[in-house]
Chain A
Amino acid sequence: GQSLEQPSEVTAVEGAIVQINCTYQTSGFYGLSWYQQHDGGAPTFLSYNALDGLEETGRFSSFLSRSDSYGYLLLQELQMKDSASYFCAVNTGGFKTIFGAGTRLFVKA
């Protein structure tokens, strides 16, 4: 079977740094994406890793280790507006994307 594992919930305070981990087991792997979704909204793309290493985009960074089938999303200088669900997603090839169950991030003042 195919699976992506990520924590169901994470809580952090404003200004802090939080890391959301994702481990995957899929039949194919072309890359790992991260999406943010606020309640009632649509998923929005945050980052994509096809190769090992760290990708940085502003306050968000994403890391991938293909040998460990593992990646994480790092959010720095947390703001209240970062409270949302975060999904890791694997592109298994041929346009097929499998999403993890999502991590709800709660940012407290």
Chain B
Amino acid sequence: LAKTTQPISMDSYEGQEVNITCSHNNIATNDYITWYQQFPSQGPRFIIQGYKTKVTNEVASLFIPADRKSSTLSLPRVSLSDTAVYYCLVGEGPGQTGANNLFFGTGTRLTVIP
């Protein structure tokens, strides 16, 4: 089971780009990397998923180096509404039967400051 390590918390000012790095040294060949966002008293919400190199959607970018032992979630120009906890998960790819992607760590608490 690929465990992940993230910073416990981060602060950023509004309008800045925020990069949250996740370490996953034991990532397996079939593992994907998925990030979720959670607001207080709400369930987590999917942000982005990737396997290698770079993935970008309307919310964020995900950078994965060639060795895949880490990944970086990039949030461009954060606003106060981006204050949340961000979770990095690593697990088997689509179609697999295991449940290795079902373990959330403690996440990174991002606080955006006015």
**Bound pair (A, B):** no
